[in-house]
Structures are given as C-alpha cells and as structure tokens.
Structure 1
Amino acid sequence: MKTRTVRRKALVPHTVDGETELVLDEYDVEVPLPPRDWDSLVRRGITVLACVLVTVSLIWTTASIGDLLSLAVIAAVAYGAGVAFDAAWILCMAVEWLLRYDPDRAALPRRAGHMALLVSMAAVYAHGQLTGEWVVGAAGAAVSLLAKGGWTIAMRAHARPLDPRTAQWVAKRRAAVDGKLAMIPVRRELVRGEALVEAERQARTAESGGSADPDRPEESADRPDPSGAGGGRRSLTTKDAVRIVWDRGIRETDPAVREIAKLVGRPVSPDTVDRYLRELRAA
C-alpha cells in the first residue's frame, strides 16, 4: 500500500529545572494514500475538453460572422456582434445546467439553446457561401454543432438523475425556500411604503397647522376621543409604544415598526422608532 508522510503537531510536557510546561512538538507519520479516483479524473477531463470546444467555437464563430457583418458596419461593431451568436446558446446551456433538477423550467432554455445554435450555424454557413467557399462554411458551422454536442455530453456526465418522488420532494422544498426569499423584498417594500405614507401624513399635518410631532398621534393623549372609538390606541405615543415592544424583547427595527403600528393604530416612521431604540440601547 502506498503511503505519504504527513507532519503533525502536538503539545507535549517538557521539564526544565523541575518546571514542566506544555510545548509544541512536530513529528512525521505515514498515512495510507487513497486509491486514485479515475472516474473523477475522466469527468474532469471531459469538462476541460468541453470548455476547449466551446472556446474554439466562440472564436471561430466570432471571426466568421464578424467578417460577414463587417460588410455593412465597422469592424469593431461587427466582431462585437459576432460574439452574440455563440454566446446566446452558451448562456442557454449554463441556465439549463443550473435548472438541471427542475426539468419543467430547464425545457425553455434547452429549446432556446437549440434555436440559437441553428441561427449561429446558418450565419457561419452564409459567410462561407458569400466568400464562395461553401465547404468552409459547412465545416465552420459544424464547429458550433460539435461544441454544443460536447458540452451536452459533459453535462450528462455530471448529471445526477432524480426519481419522480425525489424530484417532487425537491420541487416542494425549493418552492418553500423560494417563497421565503421572495418575501424579503416584499416586506422591505411594505416598510418603505408605510414610511412614505407616514411622511406624507406628517407633511399634510404641518401644512394644515396641526402638530407635526411624529412622537404623538393626531389626537392628544390628554384628551381621548370623545366618541370613545378606537379604545386606548389613539392616546398611545410612539415613544411609549417603543418602550412596550422593548419590554417584550423586540430589539430590531423592522419587527418593532410592525408591532408599534398595531399598538398605535397607524403607520409609524422607522427612523423615529430606530432613534428611540438606540436611546434604549444606550441607556
């Protein structure tokens, strides 16, 4: 069995003049080498060859189609546009790889990749026909076909097929996680919207000559609503509500804003809530 030398370190007791201390000692050990993973090496080689084919195809297609388009526009623009032909199906194959565990979503980029490949091959062949070398055009078009075929085979070598039940399980778990991720920007948008509504209310209150103090509701705390509507929420200031949610153990601004809005019965300014929370943290 083949082995390799590994240097390791350990704390060992060392005594000098009757005083013992733990010191770091280095020593070598022989550990067995695992057998060579030929499958992994072959898979890695397939991936490298597929990348080489894609690179060659991209260069050839860009040169061929760029020369074709340069008949109508300047060379810099023509060759820049030539990159798009092969880059389109390469992009579709990358998306197909990312969606390999979701066959329904991967079907669209797969079909789009085939269409982009046909367009690229047709443009390369048209360049050959225009120059009077249809054989060169056909061979050049085959370069893109070989590159896509090679990358498709490489993707199959890396694929991990799922049985129908496992695929459904993965789809449900992904849907649950995607729903949580989607709610993050939605909640941020709602908080920003509530802040804008509160800012608009304060601005209109100030224009009409009323109190623009964001710490107090529109109705005075000392003079509750004579109609008795709204219970005691209208008499609660933002500062008092911040103290209540603080006592409940809420320390973050976003959840505090939501709880305070429920307590006072109106939208509150996140900046005001954050300022009071900072004061409580400092205290």
Structure 2
Amino acid sequence: MKTRTVRRSQLVPHTIDGRTELVLDTYEVAVPVPPRDWDRTVLTTVTTAAALIGAACIVWSTASIGDLLTRVTVAPAAYAAAAVFDLVWLSCMALEWLARYDQARAALPRRAGYVALAIAMAAVGTHGWIADQAAIGIVGAAVSGLAKTMWTVVLRHHAKPLDPRTQQWVDKQRAEAGGRLAMVAVRRELTRAEALVEAERLAISGDSADAPEAPPETPEPEENAPEVEAEARPYGPMTITDAVRTALSTNITDPEAVLRYVRKVADANAKEESVTRTLRMLRKTS
C-alpha cells in the first residue's frame, strides 16, 4: 500500500522553571494513499477532449460560413454571424447538461440542438458547393456532426435520470420553490399598485402623506376647559366644513378647539391650515 508523508501539528505542554505552557509541536505521519480513480481520470480526459473538439468545430464552422457570408456583406459582420451557427447548438448542449437529472426538461434543448446542428451543417456544405468543392463541403459539415455526436455521448454518460417517484418528488419541490419565487414578484407588483392608489388618493384629497399625526390629547380638567366639545352627529361622516360649522354653532370658537373637534368627528388628519381657512370663511359669511 502506498503512503505519503503529511506534516501535522498539535499543542503539547512544555515546562520551564516550573511554569507550563502549551506550545505547538510539529510532527510527520505517513497516511495511506487511495488508489487512483481511473474512471474519473478517463471521464475528465474525455470531457476535456470534447471541449477541445467543440472549440475546433466553432473555429472551422465560423471560417467556412464566414467566407460564405462575405460574398454579400462585410467580413466583420459575416464572421460574427457565422459564429452564431455553432454557438446555438453548443448553448443547447449546455442547457441539456443543466437538465441532466430531468429528461423531460432536457428534451427541448436536445431537439433544438439537433435543428441548429442541421442548419450549421447545411451552411458549411453550401459553402463547399458554391466554391465547387462539394467533397470538402461534406467533410467540413461532418466536423460539426462529429462534435455534436461527441458531446451527446459525453452528456449521456454524465446524465443521471431519476426514477419516476423521485422525479415526481423533485417536480413538486421545484414547483413549490417556483411558487414562492413568483410570489416575490407578485407582492412587489401589488405593493407598487397600492402605492400608486394611495398617491392618487392623496393627490385628489389634497392631503399630505408626510403630515404629522395629531399629538395625543391630554384631557383638561373640567374646570379649566373653555367649553365642552359637541358630540359627533349620529348620521354619516362629516366634511371639514360641516364640522367647523357645527363647532361654531355649539360656541366652540377657539381655533385649536375647533381643530381638535374637526379631527375628532371628521378627519383625523385634517390640516390646521385647512381648518383655519374654513373657520375664517364661515365667520365672514355668518
């Protein structure tokens, strides 16, 4: 059995002149080396080779299709568009990789990848046919086909399909998590809508959202109260004007007392300026 030397450390007591302290002691120990995982090594090598094949495929297809498109457009635009052909099916392969535990979700990117591959191969073959090199066009198109085949085999090896019961459990968990995620956006939308409704209400009523709340009233001693506030009318809500008129009719003339009465029977957030202006107007008309 193979071993390897590992340096480790531990705290040990060390005494000098009768005083003991814990100090760090370093030592070496031989630990067994696990056998090499050749399966993982081979899989990593194959995956790396597939990545290199994909990169070479992109270079070849881009050069071939780019040369085809330069016949009708400038070279930068032609080669930029040519890179799309292989990048599309490679992106579909990446999505298929992400869905390797869910065959139902992997089916769509797999089919889309085959369609994109067929279009890329047709474009490469068309380039060879237009250049009077049909054989080279066929061989060039086969490069993309081989790269796609290689990646399909690698993905199938990495894929770990779930049994039907486990797949149903995963789907339910995914749906529940997706529902909670969706509710975040829904609550944000509802909050924004409520804020717009409140802003519209404040704009129509003329009230200010930042108006300070009325301070809690301290009941005055009965002998010091200038007057007794009138009770609220037993019918329907009152407007500020009606509340001020009622206060005046019950001999409540002090502006602060009128304001307290209005906030009590009409609008708890009534502004002092509005009440004062209404009070002056009713006094002039009386």
Tell me if TM exceeds 0.5: yes
2:31 aligned counterpart, secondary structure: strand
Report the CA distance between 1:86 and its aligned residue: 0.3
Report the CA distance between 1:59 and its aligned residue: 0.5
User: Residues 224, 59 of structure 1: CA spacing in aligned structure 2 closer, same or farther, 3 A cutoff?
Assistant: farther
**Aligned 8 A contact 2:102 2:161 in 1:** no
**1:22 aligned residue:** 22
**1:182 aligned residue:** 182
Over aligned residues, Cα RMSD in angstroms?
2.2
2:35 aligned counterpart, secondary structure: coil
Tell me which amino acid in the other structure corresponds to 1:85: F
**Aligned 8 A contact 1:58 1:83 in 2:** yes
Give aligned-pair identity as a percent: 57
Under a length normalisation based on structure 1, what TM-score does the superposition of the two structures give? 0.73
Tell me which amino acid in the other structure corresponds to 2:205: T
Report the CA distance between 1:61 and its aligned residue: 0.4
**1:55 aligned residue:** 55
Task: Give unmatched runs, 5+ long, in structure 2.
Answer: 215-228, 238-286
**2:65 aligned residue:** 65
> 1:142-181: per-residue Cα shift (whole Å, max 9, x none)?
0000001000111111111211111111111111112112
> 1:161-208: per-residue Cα shift (whole Å, max 9, x none)?
2111111111111111121122222222222222232233223332xx
Matched, 1:2 2:2: yes
**Aligned 8 A contact 2:102 2:162 in 1:** no
Tell me which amino acid in the other structure corresponds to 1:135: A
Matched, 1:87 2:87: yes
Tell me how many residue pairs correspond in the alignment. 222
**1:134 aligned residue:** 134
User: Residues 13, 117 of structure 1: CA spacing in aligned structure 2 closer, same or farther, 3 A cutoff?
Assistant: same
Tell me which amino acid in the other structure corresponds to 2:8: R
Tell me which amino acid in the other structure corresponds to 1:11: L
> 1:34-91: per-residue Cα shift (whole Å, max 9, x none)?
1111111111111101101111110000000000000000000000000000011011
**Aligned 8 A contact 1:6 1:29 in 2:** yes
**1:159 aligned residue:** 159
Under a length normalisation based on structure 2, what TM-score does the superposition of the two structures give? 0.72
Separation (CA, whole Å) in 1 of partners of 2:125 and 2:76: 21
User: Residues 170, 211 of structure 1: CA spacing in aligned structure 2 closer, same or farther, 3 A cutoff?
Assistant: closer
**Aligned 8 A contact 1:67 1:79 in 2:** yes
User: Residues 145, 228 of structure 1: CA spacing in aligned structure 2 closer, same or farther, 3 A cutoff?
Assistant: same
User: Residues 107, 170 of structure 1: CA spacing in aligned structure 2 closer, same or farther, 3 A cutoff?
Assistant: same
Separation (CA, whole Å) in 1 of partners of 2:34 and 2:73: 59
> 1:239-275: per-residue Cα shift (whole Å, max 9, x none)?
xxxxxxxxxxxxxxxxxxxxxxxxxxxxxxxxxxxxx
Separation (CA, whole Å) in 2 of partners of 1:44 and 1:226: 84
> 1:86-132: per-residue Cα shift (whole Å, max 9, x none)?
01101111111112222222222111111100000000000001111
**Aligned 8 A contact 1:203 1:212 in 2:** no
Between 10-19 and 83-92, report the one with greater CA deviation: 10-19
Higher gyration radius (CA): 2
**Aligned 8 A contact 1:202 1:214 in 2:** no
2:73 aligned counterpart, secondary structure: coil
1:132 aligned counterpart, secondary structure: coil
Separation (CA, whole Å) in 1 of partners of 2:74 and 2:210: 64
User: Residues 172, 48 of structure 1: CA spacing in aligned structure 2 closer, same or farther, 3 A cutoff?
Assistant: same
Report the CA distance between 1:214 and its aligned residue: 5.4
